[in-house]
A and B are shown apart, each in its own frame.
Chain A
Amino acid sequence: MSARGDVRTYSGFRAMTLVCLVVLYSPLIIVTVYSFNASRSITVWEGLSLQWYADVFWGPESGKFKQAAINSFSIALIAATMSTAIATSAATGIVRGGRFRLRTASLGLISLPLMVPEIVTAVATLIFFNFIGFTRGYLTILVAHIAFCIPFAYLPIQARMQGIEDTFEQAAQDLYATKAQAFRRVLLPMMMPGIIAGFLLAFIVSLDDFIITNFVKGAGVETLPTAIFGSVKQGIKPNIMAISTMLLVVSIAMVTISYVVSKKDSST
């Protein structure tokens, strides 16, 4: 086999790859490792300890973090559920609704927010809430999260749906299922991997969001990212690394689940 055209023959390719990997992963590794540090310092290693994890749960800042975690996870759960439900109906309508007017437009409209700079969305959302006189707090964060999670939930669902030929629904209707039964018994189970992937993606995006949340949250209501940011402003302590590591684990778990779900599906 000729090596011409093989990327490995380009000089410096190996080094470039290495640089990318280091830049991407060394911060994560350092944060994870130092979250187990016995020292107060974030640069000097003094031995293995779980004290910063204990600090997160029982230390002086634990109350603040606990409330932030409750806010973050409840918002992520509700926002992911709502946005996935909305995205599922939207995908059903747009992919299965036949060739209605403005079909392409609706498709573009629903995925456009992915391309708008987040800061613009954040400012716009804030202005919108002020305009309608919505007091900022937990509810404004939730509403904003539901809205911006929709396109993230929508994309995997739509991709999945386009791979499902409409003969399946026709076969169901041919076998005496009403449209609603065909949707529930055949289409929905077949879409499920896309729906789960969409849900997980929306969940992660919501859990992780900082910019929009920071704009629309009221005074005193924090999510994990805003709480972490608040703490960091007073100097980085290793308990931040412990929280970050736990968030990282949650993210990895979600990504793994979504990978396993899609893998399992393509094998059957």
Chain B
Amino acid sequence: MPGSRNAIDVCNAVKRYGSFTALQSITLSIRDNEFFTLLGPSGCGKTTLLRMIAGFEEVTEGEIFLFGDEIENLPPHQRPVNTVFQNYALFPHMTIEQNVMFGLEMRGSSKDAARRKAGEMLELVQLAQFSARKPSQLSGGQQQRVALARALAPEPKVLLLDEPLSALDLKLRQAMRSELKSIQRETGITFTFVTHDQEEALTMSDRIAVMSAGRLQQLGEARDIYERPVNRFVADFIGETNLLDARVEAADASVATCRLANGLTLDCDAIGNARPGADVHLSIRPERMTLAAANGDPWQGTVRENIFVGTDVQTVVQLQGGIELTVRTQNSAAGVATIFDPGTDVAVDVEAGAARMLED
């Protein structure tokens, strides 16, 4: 959109490969200075969208704006955005320093200026001592940081990162998450990050766009998306959840009362489709429920099994009518929370506001 102050505006962008539609009319805005994440399962079109912004994929329909300037028809070398490729794509015949200098030289910097800036960038990613090496002489994690330095050196208006951490082992991946985040803050460059790892997205992002099957499902802050998923796909893809079928009993402007198949009722925030009699889906996060000894409350069931997952225990409880719920209990040394053995009858307490009505 002309005059927009957003870093990127994607307007009704469609991508078709022959008869296959990879992206169906995506509209989203990436704000200046934010850490923005495109999150979705494999094949949902994240890379395609990123490559359309970088200029490697033609936009079938729609427009893309960079700080208000229409860019979808510019060739990649005329777009002031840089990419960190998934396989890094470091130039194997150049040294680390030459790799980082490449973009600067192509933009017309003098050799000296380029060398100085490359030095700063390698300092930023803590690889200054490796500047004379070839990429093949570095570890995967180090190559990754070189790719980052190379893409940051020309000071792009937006940095695009396509699953840059997926080739690293778990420990390194976690370390790189906070490093990426702090580099983003330090440089003030807008980061657009692609991942299929929801934990990565939740820990790093200012805002997340959840995609599935070529469509944008939800866009919002990490907390928002986790706590207020709009549909079954988002609720299920981000974190773990209990999805329940229900029918709306009564609804006013803010609160809807829903009845589950087994007759139990729950209150939740009302959303658009909450007309009495409507069939809806509810999502309840496992950590928003607690267990207690059975006390005659209708919300009660039998413990089926306990699954130990390190930080907490997941208890599967079967309610009357065959509905199963997973409840998460934090492990604590003080033994505050009791773990009930399989077969025990327990009362399930659902926190107020824990149930979330979904749009589909």
**Residues of A at under 8 Å CB distance from B?**
165, 167-168, 170-179, 181, 185-186, 189-190, 192, 268
Contact of A168 among B77, B89, B106, B107 (CB under 8 A): B89
Closest to B79 in A: A174
CA distance A192 to B154 in the complex (A): 28
- Which of chain A's residues have a CB closer than 8 A to the CB of B134? 268
Contact of B77 among A165, A167, A176, A192 (CB under 8 A): A176
The answer on a CB contact under 8 Å between A175 and B92 is no
The answer on a CB contact under 8 Å between A173 and B93 is no
Contact of B91 among A173, A176, A186 (CB under 8 A): A186
The answer on a CB contact under 8 Å between B85 and A167 is yes
Kindly list 19 other residue pairs between chains A and B, CB separation below 8 angstroms, not including A174-B82, A190-B91.
A167-B85, A168-B91, A170-B56, A170-B85, A171-B85, A171-B89, A172-B91, A173-B55, A173-B77, A174-B81, A175-B151, A176-B77, A176-B154, A177-B102, A177-B106, A178-B77, A190-B92, A268-B92, A268-B136
CA distance A173 to B85 in the complex (A): 13
CA distance A173 to B76 in the complex (A): 6
The answer on a CB contact under 8 Å between A176 and B106 is yes
- Which of chain B's residues have a CB closer than 8 A to the CB of A168? 89, 91
The answer on a CB contact under 8 Å between B92 and A171 is no
- Which of chain A's residues have a CB closer than 8 A to the CB of B85? 167, 170-171
Tell me if B75 is interfacial: C-beta within 8 Å of chain A.
Answer: yes
13 A-B pairs with CB atoms under 8 Å apart are A168-B91, A170-B54, A171-B83, A171-B89, A173-B55, A173-B76, A174-B83, A175-B82, A175-B102, A176-B77, A176-B103, A189-B93, A190-B91
Closest to B101 in A: A175
CA distance A77 to B136 in the complex (A): 34
How far is the CB of A221 from the nearest CB of chain B, in Å? Answer: 42
Contact of A167 among B87, B103, B150 (CB under 8 A): B87
Contact residues, B72-104 vs A (CB, 8 A):
75-77, 81-83, 85, 87, 89-93, 102-103
CA distance A178 to B79 in the complex (A): 12
Closest to B56 in A: A170
Interface size for B (C-beta < 8 A) is: 25
CA distance A167 to B92 in the complex (A): 12
- Which of chain B's residues have a CB closer than 8 A to the CB of A179? 75
Contact A173-B75, Cβ < 8 Å, known A165-B87, A167-B85, A181-B106: yes
- Which of chain B's residues have a CB closer than 8 A to the CB of A190? 91-93
- Which of chain A's residues have a CB closer than 8 A to the CB of B54? 170, 174
Closest 7 CB pairs of A and B: A175-B103, A176-B106, A171-B89, A167-B89, A173-B76, A189-B93, A177-B106
CA distance A257 to B336 in the complex (A): 75
The answer on a CB contact under 8 Å between B102 and A185 is yes
Closest to A169 in B: B89
CA distance A177 to B107 in the complex (A): 8
- Which of chain A's residues have a CB closer than 8 A to the CB of B76? 170, 173-174
How far is the CB of A177 from the nearest CB of chain B, in Å? Answer: 5
- Which of chain A's residues have a CB closer than 8 A to the CB of B89? 165, 167-168, 170-171
CA distance A175 to B105 in the complex (A): 9
CA distance A190 to B134 in the complex (A): 13
Q: B45-87: contact bitstring with A at CB < 8 Å (1 yes, 0 no)?
A: 0000000001110000000000000000001110001110101
The answer on a CB contact under 8 Å between B87 and A175 is no
Q: B259-281: contact bitstring with A at CB < 8 Å (1 yes, 0 no)?
A: 00000000000000000000000
How far is the CB of B88 from the nearest CB of chain A, in Å? Answer: 9
The answer on a CB contact under 8 Å between B56 and A175 is no
- Which of chain B's residues have a CB closer than 8 A to the CB of A192? 93
Closest to B137 in A: A268
How far is the CB of B3 from the nearest CB of chain A, in Å? Answer: 26
CA distance A251 to B75 in the complex (A): 46
How far is the CB of A57 from the nearest CB of chain B, in Å? Answer: 42
CA distance A167 to B51 in the complex (A): 11
- Which of chain A's residues have a CB closer than 8 A to the CB of B90? 171
- Which of chain B's residues have a CB closer than 8 A to the CB of A181? 106
CA distance A221 to B76 in the complex (A): 54
Contact A172-B93, Cβ < 8 Å, known A178-B77, A268-B136: no
Contact residues, B139-155 vs A (CB, 8 A):
150-151, 154
